[in-house]
A and B are shown apart, each in its own frame.
Chain A
Amino acid sequence: MVSAGGLAYAFYKVKEEVSEEKVPLLGVLAAFIFAAQMLNFPVIGGTSGHLIGGLLAAVLLGPWAGSIVITSVLIIQALIFQDGGVTALGANIFNMAIVGSIGAYYIYHFFLKVLGEKGFFVSVALAAWASVFLASSACAFELALSGTIPLNVVLPSMVGIHALIGIGEALITTAVVSLVKVTRPDLITTLRGEVG
């Protein structure tokens, strides 16, 4: 329900972000994030992680278009690949598209304001890490609220492992963003070229 409301607002706001020539970028970034989410990297003790791409999408497209890209990827994963599941789609959209993309964008924005343009890559890395940390916390709260598992059990384990996975998210996001910054700096949403 919250996700639906959030998305409706995102669809409303996204009109300001998406000009017609940006449409190919939307598609390409969604395709890239879909592909990257298939690539699990080993983390520790038999556990793996993969990119979510929430902040990546938000930095390159703006938070509203970013959240729509992540939502689209989640819907395709649930419908075509039976990943995440149709029944958990609302929660997944909330965790990864709203918290992990829109929320992370404002964290990035905050760090950029505090650190200035010189702290651009630090802001990207910190916000990417935070997006995973916060999305996993949100997921833990949902699991506890649904009565699946007590919060004091699920929160530490979810947050613990995702604090490590978040380092991967930060590394990949920063690498991709720096590649884009070198080749097409105009695509990066910073304080000057503000959209949000």
Chain B
Amino acid sequence: MKGWQKILLIGLGVSLFLAVFLSPFASPWPDGLERVAEKAGFIKLAEGKVVLTSPIPDYLFPGVKNESLATALAGLIGTLITFLAVYGVGKLISRRKRS
């Protein structure tokens, strides 16, 4: 059991470090798909139509003026939510298996 706690601490620590301290330095350039969409002119299709409003759109925590801080906060929250959500799903799966 101890081994798993170590993985948890180190893994979460590394993930949070990446999401909080490195994400503000990520390349602002469009990624592969966005680039192709821009060049071919279909990026417009992905803009303007908001089906669902998201709490933290574009990885910027709303209401925070400093963009690096807004990105870091989004990274912090996203990493924790992802961990908790998948941990919860995993628990459900493994519990279903036992019963």
Contacts and interface: CB of A to CB of B under 8 A. Distances in A.
Interface of A: 11, 14-15, 18-36, 38-43, 46-50, 68-69, 72-73, 76-83, 85-87, 136, 139, 143, 148-149, 153-154, 157-158, 161-162, 165, 184
Contact of A157 (B36, B46, B86): B36
B4 A21 contact: yes
Contact of B4 (A25, A33, A50): A25
Interface of B: 1, 3-5, 7-8, 11-12, 14-16, 18-19, 22-23, 26-33, 35-36, 39-40, 42, 45-46, 50-59, 71, 74-75, 77-87, 89-91, 93-98
B23 A165 contact: no
Given A38-B78, A157-B40, 6 more contacts: A29-B86, A43-B32, A49-B32, A81-B57, A83-B58, A154-B36
Interface of chain A: mostly helix, strand, loop or mixed: helix
Query: What 7 pairs between A and B have smallest CB-CB spacing?
Result: A28-B11, A27-B87, A35-B19, A30-B86, A23-B90, A48-B27, A82-B54
B26 A83 contact: no
Given A24-B8, A27-B87, A80-B78, A148 B42 contact: yes
A31 B36 contact: no
A161 B42 CA distance: 17
B85 A76 contact: yes
Contacts of A73: 82
Interface of chain B: mostly helix, strand, loop or mixed: helix
A35 B13 CA distance: 11
A157 B22 CA distance: 29
B97 A87 contact: no
A79 B78 contact: no
Contacts of B12: 28, 31
A194 B39 CA distance: 44
Given A21-B4, A28-B8, A79-B54, A34 B79 contact: yes
A83 B15 contact: no
Contacts of B83: 27-28, 30-31
A153 to B, nearest CB: 6
A39 B22 contact: yes
Contacts of B39: 157
14 contacts: A14-B93, A20-B95, A27-B83, A28-B83, A31-B16, A31-B80, A40-B26, A41-B26, A48-B32, A68-B89, A85-B46, A154-B36, A154-B40, A158-B36
